[in-house]
Amino acid sequence: MKNLFRSVMFVVAATMAFTSCSKDQENGLPVENEQGYLFSFGVEDNTRTSLAGNAIKWEAGDLAGVFVTGSIPPTANVSATIDLTKTPMVFNTTLKAAPAEGQTLYAYYPYTALSGANATAFPMSILTVQRQQEANIFNGANNPLVGLPVALTAADLQKVMPVVKFRQLGSIIEYKLFSTNAAYAAETVLSVAFTADKAMAGSFNVDLTAVSNTTDPVITGYTEQTITTRMSTAASIGVAKESASKIYMVVAPGTYSGAVTVTTDKAVYTFNITVAKDFKRAGIKELGVNLANADGRVARTAATYTKITSIDDLTTGEYIITATANATDYYAIPNAPNVITGKIAGQRVVVSNNTIQEKDAAGCVWTITKATGMTSPTPNNPTPAPYTYYTLNDGGQYLYHEQGGQRGDNLEYGMREVVQQWSVVYDANEFKFVGIRRTAVQRRGLFFNAATVAGVGSNVFGGYSTSGYKKLTLFKKSV
């Protein structure tokens, strides 16, 4: 029998990882420093939560979001970073004010950088485009979690670690891909999509203050009917279910019929689900997918992406957005990126003769749309001229630049369902993308840093000024 209350600890012990030892730290008291109050809560390795058997496992780099009510000023939606070196595992965060007895702490996962967010109606989502690094490895960032609220006691703030436990909002589908037709088994899988008869994805609001251990969480308000899981590394296909490749998808709990499509390097397979299936919250539904038994198979040709070399070439279409520091090693912005402290880890892609083959940049295709905007007339400018902007969409959401590059090093990138406008110039053989906010183009842009960024890794995309960092190289899908 499991001990239900020994697992994840929410530690208001603070600071061991960040500052030198002090008496207060030894006692586990929150400690003030220049940034605020360092605060820790406990929980475990590189990137997101994953599946360990049927358990949702914490991974290094995981960020949870935290609210603390009643502190002065209250803490609203700050990120908390996992520390796997502690036992139990600990999340660390910095609060604006020292937490106090009687206050309540709310947590969720994965962290989203949203200013002005409210714990009682916090926007979360079941992503319409989900990314999986490789076959059989679940990407927990696709699986939203909400923490049981913790009322902080005097003991919590002294020596005892209060416990935060996380409940699941979605339902996990584990597609097991194989083919009893040997010819199909030689193909590699790029993506799996499920279009349901009703909405099963998109954004919704969650009342984090109402998460309960006695009432299962229910989500409503999402509107999307299609979810696509894109592989960052094309997956092989087993020859039998015992050797099947596992590809995961998180859906909103519900009962759905519809169609599943599997896209490989050679074909698109369709499987009709005519009898609705039940996908339970916190459930893992194993669906065997034998390509030999598909309801339809349409052959396709693998795409090729070619480097573009002028602003005129940047028309609406599908692109691989890359950068390189040495003109040899190229990294692309992946779809459904994990954004860590405003930075996005690049995915290695292979460039040969100024082209990228589809299989060498799996899960990195963005739709760039060119459009025309118009500012509102002002007394000083009653007839403003139209301007050109671009949007970057991964098939589900837009790449967003918090504050449009107005802020400094702490500016945040993220993915949003709302359009984010970018200004683009072509300069010295590279493209410079800068966010537009209220039509004003900001200074800092989307640049590439080949160096190592703490907590993120090397070869990252982030908000930098031009000095020392690389602009972007774009590869457009050939038609």
Inter-residue contact 418 to 437 (CB < 8 Å): no
Q: Does 280 bind other proteins (CB under 8 A)?
A: yes
Which listed residue (19, 46, 55, 183) binds other proteins by CB under 8 A? 55
Inter-residue contact 473 to 317 (CB < 8 Å): no
Instruction: Work out the number of other CB atoms within 10 angstroms of the CB of residue 447.
Output: 23
Q: Does 364 bind other proteins (CB under 8 A)?
A: no
The residue range among 43-51, 149-157, 336-344, 387-395 that interacts with other proteins, by the rule CB under 8 A, is 43-51
Q: Does 71 bind other proteins (CB under 8 A)?
A: no
Which listed residue (12, 29, 124, 145) binds other proteins by CB under 8 A? 145
Q: Applying CB under 8 A, what is the total number of residues that bind other proteins?
A: 46
- Which amino acid belongs to residue 109? Y
Shortest gap between Cβ of 402 and other proteins (angstroms)?
A: 28
The residue range among 5-13, 371-379, 391-399, 420-428 that interacts with other proteins, by the rule CB under 8 A, is 5-13
CA distance 31 to 36: 8
Q: Does 3 bind other proteins (CB under 8 A)?
A: yes
Q: Does 288 bind other proteins (CB under 8 A)?
A: yes
Please enumerate, as own/partner, the contacts of 213-222 that have beta carbons within 8 Å and a separation of 24 or more: 213/148, 213/165, 213/167, 216/167, 216/281, 217/146, 217/167, 217/168, 217/169, 217/281, 218/253, 218/281, 219/124, 219/126, 219/169, 219/170, 219/252, 219/253, 222/125, 222/126, 222/252
Closest listed residue to residue 342, CA positions, set 400, 271, 273, 398: 400
Q: Does 93 bind other proteins (CB under 8 A)?
A: no
Nearer to other proteins, 288 or 373 (CB): 288
Nearer to other proteins, 2 or 23 (CB): 2
Which listed residue (78, 98, 129, 172) binds other proteins by CB under 8 A? 172
Which listed residue (38, 163, 340, 349) binds other proteins by CB under 8 A? 163
Shortest gap between Cβ of 17 and other proteins (angstroms)?
A: 19
Q: What is the bridge-based pairing of β-strands 129-132 and 226-235? A: parallel
Inter-residue contact 138 to 172 (CB < 8 Å): yes
Token representation of residue 123: 């926007």
Nearer to other proteins, 284 or 450 (CB): 284
Token representation of residue 405: 């590059």
DSSP per-residue string spanning 103-128:
-EEEEEES----TT--GGGEEEEE-S
Q: Does 256 bind other proteins (CB under 8 A)?
A: no
Q: What is the dihedral of CA 353, 356, 359, 365, to 10 degrees?
A: 180
- Which amino acid belongs to residue 224? E
Draw the binding track, 101-140, toward other proteins (x: CB under 8 A; -: no contact): ----------------------------------------
- Which amino acid belongs to residue 33? N
Q: Does 370 bind other proteins (CB under 8 A)?
A: no
Nearer to other proteins, 171 or 341 (CB): 171
Q: Does 48 bind other proteins (CB under 8 A)?
A: no
CA distance 341 to 413: 8
- C-alpha of 414 from chain center: 8
Q: Does 257 bind other proteins (CB under 8 A)?
A: no
Closest listed residue to residue 122, CA positions, set 181, 161, 66, 84: 66
Which listed residue (122, 271, 305, 431) binds other proteins by CB under 8 A? 271
CA distance 150 to 471: 45
Token representation of residue 61: 């780099």
Burial classification of residue 73, based on how many CB atoms lie within 10 Å of its CB (0-12 exposed, 13-18 middle, 19 or more buried): exposed
The residue range among 41-49, 199-207, 395-403, 433-441 that interacts with other proteins, by the rule CB under 8 A, is 41-49
Token representation of residue 112: 């989203």
Which listed residue (11, 13, 31, 51) binds other proteins by CB under 8 A? 51
Draw the binding track, 9-38, toward other proteins (x: CB under 8 A; -: no contact): x-----------------------------
Nearer to other proteins, 55 or 451 (CB): 55
Shortest gap between Cβ of 3 and other proteins (angstroms)?
A: 6
Query: Binding to other proteins (CB under 8 A): which residues in 226-255?
Result: 241
Query: Binding to other proteins (CB under 8 A): which residues in 406-465?
Result: none
Query: Binding to other proteins (CB under 8 A): which residues in 190-219?
Result: 213-214
What separation in angstroms does the CA of 219 have from each of 121, 253, 265, 364? 12, 8, 36, 29
Burial annotation 139-156 (CB, 10 A radius, 16+ → b, else e)? bbbbbbbbbbbbebeeeb
Which listed residue (166, 305, 330, 475) binds other proteins by CB under 8 A? 166
Shortest gap between Cβ of 195 and other proteins (angstroms)?
A: 13
Inter-residue contact 451 to 345 (CB < 8 Å): no
Q: Does 40 bind other proteins (CB under 8 A)?
A: no
Query: Which residues contact other proteins by CB under 8 A?
Result: 2-4, 6-9, 43-44, 49, 51-52, 54-58, 88-89, 145, 163-168, 172, 176, 213-214, 241, 260, 271, 273, 277, 280, 282-290, 293
